[in-house]
Structure formats: structure tokens, C-alpha cells
Amino acid sequence: MADDEKTEGMASNARKYWSAEGYTPGGVIREVDYAKNSTGLNPALAGIKIVDCDTHITEAPDLFTSRTAAKFKDKVPHRRRVNGVDKWFVGDRDFGSFGGNVIRNDNNKLLGRLAFPTLEEGHAGAIETKARLQAMDDMGVYAQICYHNSGVTQAGSLMSLGDPELALAIIQMYNDAAAERQQESGQRLFTLAHLPIWDKAAMEAEARRALDIGLKGFVLPDTPERVGVPSFLDEYWTPFLEMCNDTGASLNFHLNAAIDPNTLTWEGFAFEQTLSVVATMFSIGNAATLGNWMVSGRLDRHPKLKIGLIESGMGWVPFAIEAMEHQFNEMLPAKSKILQRRPWDYFRDHFWVTFWFETVGPQKLLDVLGADKVLFETDFPHPTSLYPGVQDHVMKTLGGYDHEVRKKVLETNAVKLYNLPF
């Protein structure tokens, strides 16, 4: 592929981050009895600080313009409204939507679409800390692990700018805003750091800086080679991985970058049909991330590395590990002396997974996976979010367990993975 074609491909990543069709008129509004579903923590969970391990913060439209140095004033990401839809632009280049928010500003929920066309139509808690904390209190959630909600800080897109200094500045402004939000929230909103993975020295420096300002882990692509960065097998990554190993900072793979599930759906589907299949395959695609790390040898080199497979679900995990156990026997005899542990050992030593909509997984598989390896999430305020009825679902799935197990899944596992201050 020619360099200019590759650059344009990377630039399109942000535009494709959320399909434009997801913002067109349509969908169905689900009327929500907000008062009934917003009574706070269930009394049966008293003494537990629920940590919601996958949520999304929409980047404020002035996040970059309010922080930038004068020399970048006309270059940083900013909001433009195009045909009634809010979008990120960098210069005159379309960098895609602001991400998903299907909770309307009156607390009702939009079905069949990705978000409302404008930020103002959506729930203020997608952006504003005070409104977010109120929503959390209503849901009975104490803390949230937060991820980006747009593609504006995606590595491939930033690399396509052809301006490494600007790209790094955008990453640093994003991380600074994350640290400010964490402080403003009273250590309840923990947004994970992004990194300039295209520059080894800059990546290591920004990783160290992110930890110094209090951020709790990193969001990474599973296959960085897709944007021209060496794979995790390369020594390029060794100092960074050693840093994470030594500090206890977590690596997080949100959904999955090892596959493109859009290629797995039938031609001719309507938007809603495609999205339903794609959303499911994104979750199951985390099996590739799990397998990649297990066979890599990296986990033996970095025995304290902590990896979160986020927005992944948990029901597929036993099958994936059993399959890996079989393949270790059948396909890896030459590697048997290189890989020091078995797949179940690697999972229990290094990985955590999340559940939200599932009932079979949390009800039936905690003993199989280990109650200390499972996290809870809501995916607020995305289309698949566990909204409303968070407490009802928690009690439906975990109500049959004793207090110690509930506390592990809802609180202490997350505290361990993210080094939380409570």
C-alpha cells in the first residue's frame, strides 16, 4: 500500500469509529421510569462500593481549544455541526462523531441508534462531572472506569495528521483533562490514559507522566502493527511493558482491535441488523487478544503484568481457554519449553474480564473463572448500556452469592486491577 493510501486509511479510522447512519433520524424512544430505577445502592449490597469498569466520557467540545498552546490554536480538534450532527474536525478534516450517548436529557433511552445528533440532546452526564456523579448515585454506583467516546485520539488518526508535535499535544491534553476530572470527581471517575504509540521515546515519557499525574492504566490497540507500529512481540514495547509490570499499571483492551467484525455480516442488512451482529462479535473478538498474549511469551517475561479485557463479556471465556489448552497440546510442541505456563495459569495470573447484560455467565461461571477475575460494568451511556435497572440486574446475577463474592466482583477486583484509592 502506498504511503498516501495508508495515511488516508488511518485518517478514516475516526470517521468510521461510529457509523454516520447511527445518527440519522429514527430509532425508538424507550420511556424510562427514572424514579423507580434510581433508588441508589440496594440495601443488600451495603458496605460495597460498586466500581463500574466500562463507561464512556464524551470529550467536551472545548477540551482541546481551552487547553492548547497558541501555536496550535487553529489546529486542535474542535466541534462543527454538519447537517445537524455534531462532529470533530481537525483543521478542515472530518475526524468523526462524538461517540455514543443514547440516554436523552430527560433520562429516556434511544433504541436502534448510536446517539442523538447533537450533544445537547443527550444526557449531560456524558460530559459534565456533576451530572455524571448524580447519575452514578442514582444507579448505586460509587466509581467508574472511563474510556474515550470518539476516535479523535485514536493513534492511527493522529498519525495521519503528519504533525507529531500536534499529535502528542492532543494526547497530553486528553490525559490532563482525565486527571482533572479524576480530581474534580473526588476520586470517583478514573479515565484511562492514551499514549503516542507511534514514537517509542514519547510513549514511554507520556506513560510515566500519566502515572505521575494519577491515571490508573492505559488503553491500547491489540494489533498496533495495523497503524505501522511494531507488534507487541517487538523489543520496541519492552521498556513500556517493564514499566507496567513494575508499577502495577494495567493494560486495557476495550472491545477488540484484532478483528473487524464488519466483514462478518451479510451484505444487504439494515443498519440495526448489522450493528446487532457486529456488537456481539466485537465482544467475542477479545478471545483473539487473550490468545495473542498467551502464546506470545510476554507474560513470562513480565510476570506481574495486569490485563483488562473490557466490554468483553465473560460467557465465552471458558470455551476460549479450553480451546487454547487443546491447541497448546496439539499445535505448540516446539514452544512447550518457551511458554512456562498453561492457558488457565496465564488467565488467572494476568487477566480480568467484565460482564454487564449477561445472566448465565455471572450466575454459572464465577467458580470456573474465579470470583477474583470478573468485573462489573454498565457501558453507560452507550447503546448496549445496562440502563435502566442497574441494581435489579446486579441482584439478579449476584444475589445468590455471599457478601464476600459480591464485594470481589463489584469492588475489590477493580481496586486491585486499577490500584484505586479505596
Give 66-131 as a DSSP string: TT--GGGTTTS-EEEEETTEEEEEETTEEEEE---B-BBTTS-EEESSSB-SSGGGB-GGGT-HHH
Task: Return the C-alpha cell found at 294.
Answer: 498467551
CATH number at residue 216: 3.20.20.140
Q: Alpha-carbon distance 396 to 191, whole Å?
A: 28
- Residue-number span of the structural domain to which 379 is assigned: 3-418
Task: Return the C-alpha cell found at 143.
Answer: 466509581
Position 28 pLDDT exceeds 90: yes
What is the end-to-end Cα distance of the chain in Å, rounded?
50
pLDDT-derived band at 334, boundaries 50, 70, 90:
confident
SS3 350: helix
User: Into how many domains does the chain fold?
Assistant: 1
Most confident of 90-99, 335-344, 393-402: 393-402
- In the chain, pLDDT over 90 holds for what percent of residues? 82
Q: Which residues pair with 109 in a beta bridge?
A: 30, 103
Nearest to 313, CA basis, from 386, 375, 388, 368: 375
Q: What are phi and psi of 220, to 5 degrees?
A: -135, 155
Query: CB under 8 Å to 382, separation ≥6 — which residues?
Result: 56, 100, 101, 102
Contact (CB, 8 A) for 324 and 343: yes
Position 336 pLDDT exceeds 80: no
Q: Alpha-carbon distance 11 to 214, whole Å?
A: 31
pLDDT-derived band at 230, boundaries 50, 70, 90:
very high
Nearest to 314, CA basis, from 274, 271, 273, 352: 352
Task: Return the C-alpha cell found at 288.
Answer: 483473539
Helical packing angle, 238-247 and 200-212, nearest 10° = 10
pLDDT-derived band at 337, boundaries 50, 70, 90:
confident
pTM for this model (two decimals) = 0.94
pLDDT-derived band at 39, boundaries 50, 70, 90:
very high
Position 2 pLDDT exceeds 50: no
Most confident of 55-69, 261-275, 327-341: 55-69
Nearest to 87, CA basis, from 17, 139, 40: 17
Strands 143-147 and 189-191: parallel
Other CB atoms closer than 10 Å to residue 234's CB: what's the count? Answer: 12
Position 234 pLDDT exceeds 90: yes
CA atoms within 13 A of residue 164's CA, in its CB half-sphere: 8
- In the chain, pLDDT over 70 holds for what percent of residues? 95
* pLDDT score of 258: 62
